[in-house]
Structures are given as structure tokens and as C-alpha cells.
Amino acid sequence: MFSRITIFVFLALVALASCDSKRVYEKNVEVPDYIWHKDSSVYFKVDIEDTVSLHNFYINVRHTGAYQFSNIYLFVNTTMPSGKRFRDTVECMLAGEKGRWMGDGLGDIWDNQVLFKRDVQFPEAGEYVFEYEQAMRSGREASMDLLPFVMDVGLRIEKQ
């Protein structure tokens, strides 16, 4: 028969798996060498069948404490299954007014999950492609080709 420990481990795993029942999709992509080049896009391909439910979209950003800014701007390009494309410019706040990092921190690493869109109903079933480009700009320079200390970026889609 099963021991008490085996049953406890099984129940704990079931409980952990059910904690994130709203998640439809979540993936994080590591930025090579933690330096995000302005011409290096990150892609997420998401198969969507549910065109009835409302969804929230989140942008995940992991950075080190050495990141030089309180925010990060992204261009988010969305391609629908029909091929129709949309482009959004998104500001993700990473630090508060007093310079304290927001999100969850462990040592010198900070994780942020920023609400990008709320109450989205997918108009078509099929594969959606989400593309992130870093869009940081500075008054000193026309653009920042290299954005250091960004470790990962990701996309989370969850049902309401």
C-alpha cells in the first residue's frame, strides 16, 4: 500500500498544481549575457482556442540590482492568426519614486510582473505571436543599442 509520506507528497503536488489554475500561458526567455540588444526580439507563440473568456496579459521582467533605470520601455508587437498586426509601446515600472525596486527580490535579483492588458477577449482562435523589443531611449543618445542587467523577459496570459 501507499505510505503516509507518499500520500502527503501526492496531495501537496496536486495542491501546488491547482494554485495556478488561471494561467493559460507563461514563458520567460533568458536574455543572453544579460545584455538586451535593441535589435534582438523575444518571441512568444501562443495557441488560443478560447475566444469567449476574458484574459489578462502580464509582462514579466527579471533584472539585477545593477539595472540603471527605474523602468523599461518595450515595443510589443502582436500578430493574430489572420496575420493582422498590432504594436504597443509599454512602460514597465521597476522602481518606485524613492528608487526602491518593486516586485519580488532575492539577493540582487528582482522579478516583476506588470499588467499589460486587462479584460482581453481573443477575437480569433489559432496561433498568436507576441514579439518584445527593448525600446529604451535616452536624452543623451538617440537609442540604447545595449541594455545591460536585464536577465529574462516573459509573457503570462491568464483567464479572469
pLDDT per position as a tens digit, 92-150: 999 999 999 999 999 999 999 999 999 999 999 999 999 999 999 765 555 578 999 99
Secondary structure of residue 74 in the 3-state scheme: strand
The pLDDT score that the predictor gives to residue 137 is: 76
Closest CA to 34 of 142, 110, 137: 110
Cα separation, 23 vs 156, in Å, equals 7
Residues 6 or more apart whose Cβ sits within 8 Å of residue 49 = 125
pLDDT per position as a tens digit, 34-75: 999 999 999 999 999 999 999 999 999 999 999 999 999 999
Q: Sign of the C-alpha dihedral, residues 55, 119, 58, 16?
A: negative
Domains and CATH numbers, the chain: 23-159 (2.60.120)
The pLDDT score that the predictor gives to residue 24 is: 96
Reported pTM: 0.83
The pLDDT score that the predictor gives to residue 1 is: 53
* β-pair partners for 57: 117, 157
